[in-house]
Amino acid sequence: MTRPLIHFSSARNWLNDPNGLIFHDGRYHLYFQYNPHGVDHGFMSWGHASSADLVTWQEHPVALRYTDEHEIFSGSVVFDERDTSGLGIGGTAPLVAVFTLAARSGAHQSQGIASSADGGLSWSMHSGNPVLDRGSADFRDPKVFRYSGPAGDYWVMVAVEAVQRKVVLYRSDDLRHWELLSEYGPRGTAFGVWECPDLFPLALDGDPDDVRWVLIVSMNPGGVAGGSGTMYVVGSFDGVRFVPAAPAPEVEPGAKTPDDALAALDWIDHGRDCYAGVTFSGLGDEDRILIAWMSNWEYAGEMPTDAIEPQRGSMTLARRLSLVTERGRIRLRQEPIGPAVVPVAAIADVEVRPGEPLTFEAPPASRIRLRLRLDDGASAELRLGDAPALAAVLRVRDGELTLDRRVGAEGLPEAFGSLERLELRADGLDAVLWLDEGSIEVFADDGTAVLTDRIPARRSDRVELHAVGGRVRIDEVTVEAEEEDRA
């Protein structure tokens, strides 16, 4: 696969889940699951990159390295401004990383901490690790935040008992001693294991007097598009327990594919390649930003790599989250944070008829704004690349967008070829597409309907818009790209 141009990927080796996302001293820090030794999942450590704008990233040396006893699985980082942990040095309040210690011999997972006095570049393991041990084989992925409310002022850890599909919440005054608050689940799905939870408040429709809490849980398998995926639940949190606002549809155990009940859950993304997303600490609640791993466990380990600079894995674009009422339902809205772009092409007030496609160019990394209206019974097809070597085809018909990447999946893992579906609010399309080398992210209906897929590399910049079974009216097609990528 071709290396991405506008999405973060490590210079070499294996990369998966984002960890320890934090904004501190003017920089965004992205830690991530990383194998220092090769392109396969193993020897899990924390890689590290930082950015001033969430677009251009500088990779740093490995932050937390595996040991003979433990691999370092997913977790989070907080700024312990009051030095509640006592891990500060010389009056400097520390950054504290909280992560899963996964035993390399035997099945055992517990939580450990490390501290940094230089802004997250170097870390000291806490001598008292582990700081929390349930005697479990599958207790992992701690996300820690500072709670301040009617119940008090303290740290909260949200983690999972993965196989039991259960979220467990703990509290601490010092990040070193933890006591159980409550448990949540299993609820809403009978598939796979639960991983990488997050819990945070958002104002509904921008009203600061109407704050709801959002619980994110990734699952593998059991995603709405197949393989791994991430759901969210809106509810309330009183400092002790999370309570969902409405009952969730249950999914019958043993089902082979997602059914209507699974589709009725709320999903961060309806594509195949958005997993383990979590949000940054160190930002205000009104600036809630998420990044996810852009792959799927069904085929991540089988994806081809570059022979000269072997590497597997990349991240989605960063996404700013908000909570809105959409068609009588509370939904997450996601606003992508991409590079600054300049116009390449603009088309408006054009009618496309069957057999008379509209052709335009989209550079390797580009943003496409689409507003289309369709005749009754018509469909629109956006074909990426030159036939017969298409990378993917997007189709819009009857209030649904599908993304077909089977057309270009030859030579890729068998599970890669797939057809994804995204429900739209109308029969036409109002969306922003971010294209990169080997991926597409679709943000439709003002970001309330999102689909992310890796796609085969495009062999040309050609894009064709076809009308099938009736006319397609173009209100707007705008192509933008970074200055150096202009045609």
CA atoms within 13 A on the CB side of 79: 16
For residue 329, report the phi and psi dihedrals to the nearest 5 degrees: -130, 140
Residue in the block written with tokens 């700013």: 320
Measured distance CA(5)–CA(482) in Å, rounded? 10
CB 483 within 8 A of CB 368: no
For residue 446, report the phi and psi dihedrals to the nearest 5 degrees: 60, 35
Measured distance CA(160)–CA(86) in Å, rounded? 27
Measured distance CA(120)–CA(138) in Å, rounded? 27
- C-alpha of 434 from chain center: 15
Rounded (5°) CA angle 86-88-93: 110
DSSP designation for 249 = P
Two tokens, residue 318: 């960063």
Burial 31-40 (b: 16+ CB within 10 A, else e): bbbbbbeebe
The single residue of 17, 430, 445, 461 carrying the catalytic annotation is 17
Name the pairing type of β-strands 139-149 and 132-136. unpaired
Where does 254-345 have alpha helices with state H? 260-263
CB 96 within 8 A of CB 176: no
Whether 17 is catalytic is: yes
Rounded (5°) CA angle 346-387-368: 25
Measured distance CA(221)–CA(192) in Å, rounded? 5
CB 183 within 8 A of CB 170: no
Measured distance CA(405)–CA(409) in Å, rounded? 6
Those residues with Cβ within 8 angstroms of residue 63's Cβ, 6 or more apart along the chain or in another chain: 20, 31, 45, 46, 47, 48, 97, 120, 121, 122, 123
Active-site positions?
17
